[in-house]
């Protein structure tokens, strides 16, 4: 079974801090993405990556950046955390590459609180 591991289950950070959320998958998947889930707003895509060093903006990239230096690891960076970035963050991966997708497997999520 594919394993997608997010480094932290719960995180509390202060406003203005730089925050790194890490996601690692163990199945040599090409596709990975980060999304956030908020009550009443559902799930929204932040960034997508279909290969090492390749990234595409999702619906809500503002205030975020990403890094994919190695295939198995996709990092989400909050450049200067703000309270409106308090959310549940989910990482997912799938095999296939750009234009192909065999179904995503999700990590267990990181609940981030910015105070």
Partner 1 sequence: ELKVEQNPLFLSMQEGKNYTIYCNYSTTSDRLYWYRQDPGKSLESLFVLLSNGAVKQEGRLMASLDTKARLSTLHITAAVHDLSATYFCAVDSNTGNQFYFGTGTSLTVIP
- Which residues of this chain interact with partner 1, rule CB under 8 A? 31, 33, 35, 42-45, 48, 50, 56, 58, 90, 92, 96-109
For partner 1, the closer CB: 80 or 103: 103
Taking CA atoms, 112 is separated from 29, 31, 69, 95, in Å, by: 26, 23, 24, 27
CA atoms within 13 A on the CB side of 108: 7
Residues in the chain: 115
Could you tell me the smallest distance in angstroms from the CB atom of residue 95 to partner 1? 11
Could you tell me the smallest distance in angstroms from the CB atom of residue 15 to partner 1? 25
For partner 1, the closer CB: 33 or 74: 33
Could you tell me the smallest distance in angstroms from the CB atom of residue 43 to partner 1? 4
> CA 49, CA 104: separation in Å to the nearest integer?
13
For partner 1, the closer CB: 12 or 82: 12
């Amino acid at each position: 079974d594919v394993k997608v591991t997010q480094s932290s289950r719960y995180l509390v950070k202060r406003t203005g801090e730089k925050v790194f959320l890490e996601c690692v998958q163990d199945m040599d998947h090409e596709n990975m993405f980060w999304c956030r889930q908020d009550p009443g707003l559902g799930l929204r895509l932040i960034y997508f990556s279909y290969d090492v060093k390749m990234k595409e903006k999702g619906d809500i990239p503002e205030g975020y950046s990403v890094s994919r230096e190695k295939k198995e690891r996709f990092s989400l960076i909050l450049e200067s955390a703000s309270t409106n970035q308090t959310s549940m963050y989910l990482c997912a991966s799938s095999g296939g590459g750009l234009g192909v997708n065999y179904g995503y497997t999700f990590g267990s999520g990181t609940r981030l609180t910015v105070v």
